Structure 1
Amino acid sequence: MKALTWRGVNEVAVEDVPEPTILNDHDAIIEVTLSATCGSDLHLLGGYIPAMRSGDVLGHEFMGTVVEVWPGVRERRVGKRVVVVSFTSCGRCWYCQQGLFSLCDNGNPNPGITEALWGQAIGGCYGYSHAMGGYAGSHARYIRVPYADQGAFPVPDGVSDERALFASDAAPTGWTGADQAGVKAGDTVAVWGAGGVGQMAARAAALMGAERVVVVDRYANRLEQVRTHIGAETLDYSQVDVPAALREMTGGRGPDVCIEAVGMEAHANGVVHLVDQVKQQLRLQTDRPGAVREAIYACRKGGTVFTLGVFGGFVDSFPLGAVMNKALTLRGAQQHGHRYIPEILERMSRDEVRTEHLAPHVMPLEEGPAGYRMFKEKEDGCVRSVFRLDA
């Protein structure tokens, strides 16, 4: 079958790969209908995530139809339309029982790499390097889904494929940030990054009762999407001093919750950003933390800063003194989508969560290399490239 694969730094290609087969009793095979690019994919393309191999199939945000199940799969049936959470989790270990699904003890069959990086292994993720399990990704006609009863969710009638697609990763990642950051009624929430995840974090915060939600970015089309489709306020960080503007908007205090949805290749203003770029290119640090730094300085005393953007390793010039002296709570997570996707799909069916605007660029898989170029370079206002596999 045809698949979109990683061939090396900043190089992807469409090539023939073997079709997946059932390996375990809890597996299902999904025929992919739609599969989206994600901002975290750009870290793979840039060579910042270890353990990629030439020929690895990319993609972790997808939906499709069940075409094969094994006897251990009891709740998913052939022919059903499903959306699949990007993280593989068993549903039975201690972490899954606590609702911390991306920390699953059994979801990553290659735990040694992340144990060396972070002290303990986390769950696996489709198409996201051998450090995260070595699973083939979703930019292909078929994909093997382990723990299918836990990770594949039926799409309600009336919810379009284009809307359901983003219940796989962007929406549950945003929900993870807003919920785990403790957003409550009356809060002011600031979100750094107006991509798919940032927009969904902002929408989740509003639905959780935040009185005011402000999204920070520099791309005019994405800020317009936030105002039109999410209903949040916006700040263009290339035009204003963001911490000062947020203090002015909050009576001098700053936001109660700051959510960083940018990740290890954050852009920022000033000399510090240039220093970060040089250090990252020289591998003196693995990640550029510009957005996290700004969120820490902007957050009110006693508030919460939550990192949703993907970080791989080490950062320099981290304002730990501000975290301690301002009595901030600093948290982060990969998405615990298994606990949020049922609610998200229900809200999608009631038109409370709309995501079609994230995917104006839908194309066949054969145009995958061009789709990733458009996405990376923000050509034609591209927020996400989406590949249609059933054409």
Structure 2
Amino acid sequence: MKALTWHGKGDIRCDSVADPQIQDGRDAIIKVTSCAICGSDLHIYDGVIPAMEHGDIMGHETMGEVVEVGRDNKALKVGDRVVVPFTISCGQCFFCQKGFFSACERSNPNKEKAAKLWGNSPAGLFGYSHLLGGYAGGQAEYLRVPYADVGPIKVPDGMPDEQALFLSDIFPTGYMAAEMCDLKGGETVAIWGCGPVGQFAIRSAFLLGAERVIAIDTVPERLEMARAGGAMTLDFKEEDIYDRIMELTHGRGADACIDAVGTEANATGSFDSVLDRIKVATFMGTDRPHVLRQAIHCCRNFGTVSIVGVYGGFLDKIPMGSAINRGLTFRMAQTPVQRYLPTLMERIQKGEIDPSFVITHTASLSEGPDLYKTFRDKHDGCIKVVLKP
């Protein structure tokens, strides 16, 4: 089969690789009908994520048709259309039973390696390094899905791929980002990053009762899409974000702040962002957390900072003095996607949201390597890429 494979920083190729095979009775094989390039895939493309190996298959936003089912899988049958969560979860362990599917204790075969970095291991993920299991990803013609009797959700007849695909990751992630803000109605929510996750966080915040959303970015097409979703937008290259948020909230700060950027924040002119870049370039640091620092400062006293942008290692100069003295709450997670699927599928079916709004580019798998660069460089108005194997 054809698949997008990693061969080093900035080097994604469309290669011929072996077809996946059933390895466990709970497995399923799906023929991929749609997959997507995620913003977190760009961290791999940029060489930020450790434990990648040459030839690893990329991708964790995938859906398709079941073509083979393991003997112990009673939940799926050949011919089912399904969306596959990016988190691989057994459904039976301590954390899965509590609904914390992204902390599954059984799905990462390399959990000892992850524990050395993070103290404990999260769940295995599709296409996201050998630190998180070394599972083949879904930017391919076929995908093996472990624990397929727990993860995938069936897609109703008549629902196009474009509406269902983002249930695999970015819609639940954006929704969780807003849900973690504990909105009661009438709040002001500030969101850093108007990429795909940020766009879903904007719309989810309104669905959950926010009165006003302030969206922060600098890419014109992203800001335009945010405004189309009802947000007030700020361009961080044109104005001081802290000063503007304080002005807009009468000096109080936003009720909740969402970091939908993560490790590769692109800030201009600030001393801390320059220092972050120097540290990462000289291997004295692992991440560039400028946005997180700003979100903390812009949050009102006893407000919430919700973090869904990907961070990989150890963050420098986080203003914990500000956070503790002003009573901030921090909420963060890799999204336990399975927990959100029934609710979000229902919202799509009711017409409360059409997730396809975020798509700007649709292409073949062979065009994927070029579109990685287009997406990373934010060229051609690129916000979200869907690939059709």
TM-score w.r.t. the length of structure 1 is: 0.97
How far did residue 266 of structure 1 move?
Answer: 0.5
| 2:248 paired residue number | 249
Alpha-carbon distance between aligned partners in 1 of 2:4 and 2:314, rounded to the nearest angstrom: 30
Where 1:297 maps in the other structure, the secondary structure is helix
| 1:4 paired residue number | 4
How far did residue 55 of structure 1 move?
Answer: 0.1
More deviation in 75-84 or 125-134? Answer: 75-84
| 1:259 paired residue number | 258
What one-letter code is carried by the residue in structure 1 that aligns with 2:148?
A: A
Alpha-carbon distance between aligned partners in 2 of 1:333 and 1:150, rounded to the nearest angstrom: 20
Paired residues for 1:121-270 under 5 Å = 121-228=121-228, 230-270=229-269
Where 1:301 maps in the other structure, the secondary structure is strand
Where 2:7 maps in the other structure, the secondary structure is strand
How far did residue 256 of structure 1 move?
Answer: 1.1
Alpha-carbon distance between aligned partners in 1 of 2:220 and 2:62, rounded to the nearest angstrom: 27
What one-letter code is carried by the residue in structure 1 that aligns with 2:289?
A: P
What one-letter code is carried by the residue in structure 2 that aligns with 1:139?
A: Q
What one-letter code is carried by the residue in structure 2 that aligns with 1:249?
A: L
What one-letter code is carried by the residue in structure 2 that aligns with 1:338?
A: Q
Q: Answer whether contact 1:306 1:331 (CA < 8 A) is retained.
A: yes
Alpha-carbon distance between aligned partners in 1 of 2:113 and 2:296, rounded to the nearest angstrom: 30
The answer as to 2:23 corresponding to 1:23 is: yes
How far did residue 184 of structure 1 move?
Answer: 2.4
Where 1:275 maps in the other structure, the secondary structure is helix
Where 2:247 maps in the other structure, the secondary structure is helix
Q: Deviations over 1:256-308 (max 9, x none)?
A: 11110001000113232121111111111100001101100000011110110
The answer as to 2:350 corresponding to 1:370 is: no
Q: Answer whether contact 1:6 1:53 (CA < 8 A) is retained.
A: yes
Q: How many residues matched? A: 388
Alpha-carbon distance between aligned partners in 1 of 2:104 and 2:249, rounded to the nearest angstrom: 39
What one-letter code is carried by the residue in structure 1 that aligns with 2:5?
A: T
Q: Deviations over 1:207-255 (max 9, x none)?
A: 1111112211111111111111x22222111112112212222222111
Q: Answer whether contact 2:199 2:358 (CA < 8 A) is retained.
A: no
Q: Answer whether contact 1:258 1:304 (CA < 8 A) is retained.
A: yes
What one-letter code is carried by the residue in structure 1 that aligns with 2:252?
A: R
Q: Answer whether contact 1:89 1:96 (CA < 8 A) is retained.
A: yes
Where 2:159 maps in the other structure, the secondary structure is coil
Alpha-carbon distance between aligned partners in 1 of 2:367 and 2:114, rounded to the nearest angstrom: 33
TM-score w.r.t. the length of structure 2 is: 0.97
Alpha-carbon distance between aligned partners in 1 of 2:370 and 2:268, rounded to the nearest angstrom: 29
| 2:39 paired residue number | 39
What one-letter code is carried by the residue in structure 1 that aligns with 2:363?
A: M
Q: Answer whether contact 1:59 1:126 (CA < 8 A) is retained.
A: yes
How far did residue 108 of structure 1 move?
Answer: 1.0
| 1:381 paired residue number | 381
More deviation in 192-201 or 177-186? Answer: 177-186
Alpha-carbon distance between aligned partners in 2 of 1:184 and 1:157, rounded to the nearest angstrom: 35
Identity of aligned residues (%): 48
Question: Which sections of structure 2, spanning at least 5 residues, go unmatched?
Answer: none
| 2:105 paired residue number | 105
Alpha-carbon distance between aligned partners in 2 of 1:150 and 1:214, rounded to the nearest angstrom: 37
What one-letter code is carried by the residue in structure 1 that aligns with 2:260?
A: A
Q: Which runs of 4+ in 1 moved over 6 A?
A: none
Q: Deviations over 1:51-84 (max 9, x none)?
A: 1000000000111111111122112221111111
| 1:317 paired residue number | 317
How far did residue 353 of structure 1 move?
Answer: 1.7
| 1:361 paired residue number | 361
Q: Answer whether contact 1:101 1:336 (CA < 8 A) is retained.
A: yes
How far did residue 136 of structure 1 move?
Answer: 0.1
Q: Answer whether contact 1:156 1:345 (CA < 8 A) is retained.
A: no
Aligned CA-pair RMSD: 1.2
Alpha-carbon distance between aligned partners in 1 of 2:5 and 2:91, rounded to the nearest angstrom: 29
Q: Answer whether contact 2:172 2:335 (CA < 8 A) is retained.
A: yes
